[in-house]
Each structure stands twice: as structure tokens, then as C-alpha cells.
A and B are shown apart, each in its own frame.
Chain A
Amino acid sequence: MSEVASTATPTDRGPESSVAGAPPEGRPAGQGSRTAGDSRSNGGEPAALPIEARGLVKRYGEITAVDHVDLTVEPGDVYGFLGPNGAGKTTTLRMLLGLISPSEGSVRLFGRDPIAEGIHALEGVAGFVEEPRFYPYLSAQRNLELLAAYDGGGATGRIDEALETVTLTARRHHRVGGYSHGMKQRLGIAAALIRRPKLLLLDEPATGLDPAGMRDMRALVRRLADEGMTVLLSSHLLTEVEELCNRVAIVRSGAVIHEGRLEDLLEAADGDYRLETTDDEGALRLARAHRGIADALTEPGALGLRAERAAVAELTLELAAHGIGLHTLTPRRAGLEELFLRLTESAPATGPRPEA
């Protein structure tokens, strides 16, 4: 752990990097007060980023599972890695963790290459790819003891706390083979926590959980993020991502089609309005003739617009000038789900991909 101690963490940054009492930049309310985007240590030197992937490619024969992926995860981020099933999320995570070698490109975790430096690059990093797997014939306690022994550095002493965190203390001596899917997911988190990571990579942590389990998993991730952990959350559960993440990358067919602050993505999608007027046909004609208004369409009992903010104001004046009364004017903000579908369904697919 000491080898990456110089990297920026939420507690070792300078005072300018944190906005006490205010929601962090781009971070949904209720999360910690860290500022995404800051990656400088106390000394002002640029700190190594938790994750920096450049031009990552993974090919299986003729098939490209991951296609020139760039990812930048900054300290304090809760980073959503989104994509449909088979988009290459898991393959990318495997490369990040050094489980598979990229065909091209580079990965750095806190400045270290997991392929070239092996486990040394994973200091301060933990998580799981696909569902967490354990020895089914051993108890949860024994599984964690094994992993703690492999980790060294006092990890064994953190087992009790980790099990408590994921509320598995009462079942710690039961064999994992008898665990439910949700319990295994929680045990996966516990196995990650005993490493006391600064970066947590979670691959679909809520998949297969019941609603209560999903809620608990979200609360746990939020809590860990609030405690200062940088989290990369691979998911296709968009409500989960929208609730937890401040930055996202959206992948489709192995390629990143959007990366940036979630807030920016949502704001960029602003500009949808719904109008109810005394004369929708007349209003439609005026809207279509107006500069700055696109996609004016009639909807049942209303008019849908995609327009610049200023153009909407001008349109209301114009409607009034033409004697068309305005019942309602409602801005509509696209949710992440709608944006995700827009982005992923409009992006061109490049052909079949292996399970990823």
C-alpha cells in the first residue's frame, strides 16, 4: 500500500480542492464533498489518476471486443461505466485489473501498469469482475481469511469490520456454496474492503438482487464513496448510475461513445419543451418557421419542441402576437435512460462480439 501512498486521496488533497458543505461538482446530492476533476496532491504535483486507459483494444481473432477505449477516472469520482450487455464493459474491467492483456493501448492504475507490473499495480485497488466468486466449500470467514492472507498487511484484522459493513456477520461461518446471489455480491464487497482500497471497481454489483438488495447495495456504494473511495461502477442499471455517479462513460459495441460529467450529459440534453396552446396547429406553423426551434411536433393535446432557451421566449411572444393563448409551457429534461437509449441506439454497431 505504501507504494501508492503518494497518490491523491480525498484526505490528502489541498484545501482548494474541496468545497466543504456543498455538493461536489457533478455529484448527486447526498454524496461527499469531493471535487471531481482535481488530481493534485498536497505538494501541487500532479497525482497519478486512479484510472487512466488510453486506446484500449481487445481483439479475439476477427472480433474486436473493446475498440480504442479511453477512460479517465479522477480521485473522488463515482464513475459510471455504462453500456448494453455485450458492449465490452467486463472485458475492459478485466484489462484494468490485469486479468487479460490488451491487444493495444495502455492502462494505468495510480500510474502503474497492471500488465507490466502485475499485482504491484493493484495496490490500493479492489473490486470484482462479473459476479464475485469464492470457494463454495469454504465458509465466508475462511474465504476472507484466505484472501486476507494473500493480501497481507493487516487485511486479516479488517475481516470483522468488512463482514459487519455488508451485514454478513451472522452468516460468516456458513459455507459460501449455500449463499444466495445477493449474499455473494455483498461478500464480494467485503472481500474488496479488506484490501482497504482507494479505488473500487464493481461490475454490475446490483445485478440479480431483489429491490431491497439493490437499495442496500446502492446505499453501501454511496457510503463508501462518501468515505472517500473512488469507485468505478459498471452497470446497465441507469437509475443506479444516475443516483450514484458524477461521471460516466457510455460504451456501445466496444467503443466509448460518450465520456464526461453526468451533469453535462444531462444538461446537453436539455431543450425539450411541451406546449399546450389554444391553437396547436397555428403554434406548430409558427414554431417551424422560427429560427432556433427544431423538431416541433404535435403530440396528443400539445406541441413538442426541441429548442434553444431564447428561441422559446421569442416564440411565446410571437404566439401572443398571433392571438394564440398559452395554457402551459413545460421544460422536459431527458433522463439518463432516455439519453442512454438515444446514444446507444443511434451509434453504429460494428458486428458480433463475444461475451464481454
Chain B
Amino acid sequence: MTGALTAYHWELRKLVAQKRTYLGLAAAVGVPLLFVAVLVLSDGSPDEIPFGAAVRESGLAIPLVILLFGSIWLFPLIVALVAGDVVATEDGHGTLKTILTRSLDRSSIFIGKAMASATYAVLALGLMALVAGAAGVLAFGFEPLPTLSGPPLQPARAVVLTLLVLVVYLMPLLAVAAIALLLSTATRNSTAAVVATLMGSLIMQLLGILPGLEAIQPYLLTTQFSAWMGLVREPMDWAPVGRAAWVCALYAVPALAAALVVFLRRDVAGG
């Protein structure tokens, strides 16, 4: 595990040194700021989506609305920017052969990369929530948060609940990261991996709204981005959360395992 931690540490340092890292983080910060700015400068609200009508009642609704918006392309894209690049970029720079001829085994290097990708997903999501919450509260106040059913939540409880929501939201996000990592490892091409991850996410979104596909919709990865809504009810509905846990694992674990196998066995002939 020490080797994996060494690789993780250096993957993080590499992320810090790369400009593309900040593109995703800038989007995670910029989108909620833009959203709040538009709300402040206009008098409308996105009433057609859950919590859309509540954005002017409580600033605490802003992060939840952004989560719903972001699940379509924003967060899959942000996560894919790093997870889809983390192995392929080594091919692009020809550095895979440099690190694979040192004293750290391939599995440790892979685990380090996977952990760094996951860390980035957590950071992007956390940053979005923090900025969205802060901007929302500044604009619309630290007020009780209306729920999807039942009475509004007191602000302090709403904050705690939002943290729980983020954890649940992280499950499909990490599954997306795992798929991006597999594509990065298999395609050896950053652009292909990022685009393919995003396309996959969009296709699943599409399948999720097409009539006649109701039977598969609960098992689509993108459907799990809505699982957290069960928590914002009174009483809480944990069933979607439980299903999201195993459905996400069903996507993430095979993707990670396949990526690891490819990474361990691949010939490093380029670069």
C-alpha cells in the first residue's frame, strides 16, 4: 500500500501542475456562480425541476439544483477530464515507459491514478457545493429548505443533509470516473477517453427519458444521479440510495478491474 500512496501523492502533484486540472475546477466554481448571477439579475426560476421553485426561498436549494443540472454533462465532463486523461496522457507524453521501469509495480501506479481521479471528483463536487451554497446563501439567505414531501428543513439540518446528498451523488460520479479510467487505459488517447465517457453519459441520459425503456431505466448509471432525492423527503426514502449503491458498483467494479488488467498486461510500445 505504501507504493500506491507514493503513486497517489505524485499523481496529485502532477494534477496540481497541469492547467487542465483547473479547467474542471473552474467549471465547478463558475457554473453555480453564473447560475446565481442569472437568478439575481432576472426574476425567473427553473420551476420545472425539483427545488427549482425553491431557489429564491432558500440559498441552500442552489447546490441541489446545480446537482440536477450537472448530472447531464457538467460533472461527467469534469470527472472525465482527469480520469480519462490520467493514463492516456502518459502514453501521449511517452512517460509510461519512464515510470514502468522504476521500482514501483504497475498495480501501485494504477491504484495511485485511480485514487487521484477519485480525489479530483470529490474536490470538484465539494467545491461546487461550497461555492453554490455560499453564493446561494448570500443571494437568497440561510433559510429553511423546502423538501420534496413534508415540511421544510431547518437550515442547519439542511446543510447536514446536503453533505449526505453529496456522498450519494458521488457514487455514480465515481462510477463515471471508473469508466473514464478504463477508456483512458484501453484507448491510450485522452480525447477519445473524455469524449467517449461524455457520450456514454449522454446516451444513458437519453435512454433514461425514452418511452418504452422503463424496465432498464432504474439500472442506468445516469439514473443514479437522482438517487439522492429520496433523502430530501419526509420520511427519507433510502430505497433509491440502496439501489444506486449496487448499480454504481456494478458499473464501477468491472470497469476498474478491466482497467487494471489492461494496465498490468499491456505492452508499452509507444512513446
Contact = CB atoms under 8 A, between A and B. Distances in A.
Whether both chains belong to one complex is answered with: yes
Nearest to A90: B269
Q: Size range of the interface on B?
A: 20 to 34
A94 B105 contact: no
Contact of A100 (B7, B18, B103, B269): B269
Interface in A91-142: 91, 94, 97-101, 118-119, 122-123, 125-138, 142
Contact of A151 (B7, B9, B102): B102
Contact of B93 (A126, A133, A151): A133
A123 B101 CA distance: 10
Contact of A99 (B17, B97, B105): B97
B269 A135 contact: no
Given A99-B269, A100-B268, A150-B7, A133 B100 contact: no
B6 interface: yes
A284 interface: no
Interface string B70-95: 00000000000000000000000111
A97 B6 CA distance: 22
Contact of B97 (A123, A129, A153): A129
Contact of A135 (B6, B93, B103): B93
A138 B19 CA distance: 12
Contacts of A91: 269
A147 interface: yes
Contact of B14 (A125, A138, A191): A138
A127 B18 CA distance: 27
A119 B14 contact: no
A293 B19 CA distance: 72
Contacts of A195: 102-103
Contacts of B17: 135, 137-138, 142
A196 to B, nearest CB: 12
A100 B267 CA distance: 4
A209 to B, nearest CB: 19
A191 B267 CA distance: 22
A147 B267 CA distance: 21
Contact of B95 (A127, A130, A133): A133
Given A100-B269, A133-B271, A152 B95 contact: no
A339 to B, nearest CB: 31
B104 interface: yes
B157 interface: no
A94 B98 contact: no
A98 B103 CA distance: 12
Interface in B76-134: 93-95, 97-106
A146 interface: yes
A149 interface: yes
B267 A150 contact: no
B243 interface: no
Contacts of A98: 100-101
Determine chain A's interface SS by DSSP, over half rule.
Answer: loop
Contact of A137 (B6, B18, B103): B18
B35 interface: no
A270 B6 CA distance: 56
Interface string B1-23: 00000110110011001110000
B10 A146 contact: yes
B103 A122 contact: yes
Given A133-B271, A137-B18, A152 B101 contact: no
Contact of A149 (B10, B98, B105, B271): B10
A150 B95 contact: no
Given A133-B93, A147-B98, A149-B6, A118 B105 contact: yes
Nearest to B20: A137
A282 B17 CA distance: 79
Interface in B243-271: 267-269, 271
B164 to A, nearest CB: 37
Contacts of B99: 146-147, 150
A26 to B, nearest CB: 29
A130 B96 CA distance: 13
A79 to B, nearest CB: 18
Interface string B163-179: 00000000000000000
A135 B95 contact: yes
Most buried by B among A94, A118, A122, A147: A147
B104 A94 contact: no
A100 B93 CA distance: 18
B193 to A, nearest CB: 19
A97 B93 CA distance: 19
B103 A123 contact: yes
Contacts of A125: 101
5 contacts: A99-B267, A122-B102, A134-B93, A142-B17, A149-B9
Given A135-B14, A147-B102, A149-B6, 20 more contacts: A97-B97, A97-B101, A99-B100, A100-B268, A122-B101, A122-B103, A127-B101, A128-B98, A133-B93, A133-B95, A134-B95, A146-B10, A149-B9, A150-B99, A150-B102, A150-B103, A150-B104, A151-B102, A151-B104, A153-B103
